Amino acid sequence: MIIAIDGPSGAGKSTVAKAVAQKLGFNCLDTGAMYRSIAWYALENGVGLDDSAALGRIAREKQIAFGHVEGDPVPRRVFIDGVEVTDAIRTARIDRSVSVVSAHPEVRAALVDQQRRLGHAGDFVIEGRDIGTVVFPGAEVKVFLTASNEERARRRVLQNESRGIGSTDFDEVLADIVRRDELDSSRATAPLAAAPDAVGLDSTGRSIEAVIDDICARARAARVVRG
């Protein structure tokens, strides 16, 4: 079974996806981390963010892998080409460049291929922007998770504070969220959009636990209906 969780940055997708996967015993795939890893690799190696051919080559050829911290069932560690980038892909520098990188059709085609191969391997919660629309349009459960801009910025600041990486300035984070929404929603290939059959969940003023329980209940119902 595939549970697709799409939505803008900071809506709580990562927290929700990882908790749902843990509760249901599913695998979990953070596709944003894959786009971030390509952006990181490009910046590290002096590849221009407008060089679609070179970026596409990186996405096709460099292996992205996920790993576990010992004792943690959810894979939170990220590697590209054997180098761990778990923290390096969460910096403000990557926040600023990842929307540009992820807009290139060559990059998307390569990563979508990998996401499909991975997802076909079992039960998965997959979070991103285009999972319910493009990557797995046949996903049994599709959720489009949103929250107000201010709520998303507030959460991102708290997350950055606890991780000790990324900006903790509310206005800067809010501006970045608005800018990335604009870029992610207006790009030509696979823009951020809710699938027509996705359930819209607004997490503003709602506990993350309630959102997690809601999605788990939908997954259990879908499994019963499917038999």
Interaction between residue 147 and ligand DC (CB under 6 A):
no
Q: Is 122 left (phi over 0), alpha (psi -120 to 50) or beta?
A: left
Q: Give the nearest distance from C-beta 91 to ligand DC in angstroms.
A: 12
The stretch near ligand DC (CB under 6 A) out of 63-71, 124-132, 154-162, 204-212 is 124-132
Q: Which of 130, 152, 159, 218 binds ligand DC (CB under 6 A)?
A: 130
Q: Give the nearest distance from C-beta 144 to ligand DC in angstroms.
A: 13
Structure tokens at 146: 């949103």
What is the spatial distance between Cα 202 and Cα 211, in angstroms, rounded to a whole number? Answer: 9
Chain-centroid distance, C-alpha 84 = 18
130: enclosing H helix or E strand: none
Task: Please report, as residue ranges, which positions from 31 to 70 form the binding site for ligand DC (by CB under 6 A).
Answer: 31-32, 35-36
Listed in sequence order, the DSSP H helices in the chain are: 13-24, 31-44, 52-61, 92-102, 105-119, 149-163, 170-186, 208-226
Interaction between residue 27 and ligand DC (CB under 6 A):
no
Interaction between residue 102 and ligand DC (CB under 6 A):
yes
Structure tokens at 53: 């051919």
What is the spatial distance between Cα 101 and Cα 169, in angstroms, rounded to a whole number? Answer: 24
Interaction between residue 137 and ligand DC (CB under 6 A):
no
What letter represents residue 77's amino acid? R
Q: Give the nearest distance from C-beta 204 to ligand DC in angstroms.
A: 18
Site string for ligand DC, 79-98 (x = CB under 6 A): -------------------x
Q: Residues interacting with ligand DC, by CB under 6 A?
A: 9, 31-32, 35-36, 98-99, 102, 128-130, 180, 184
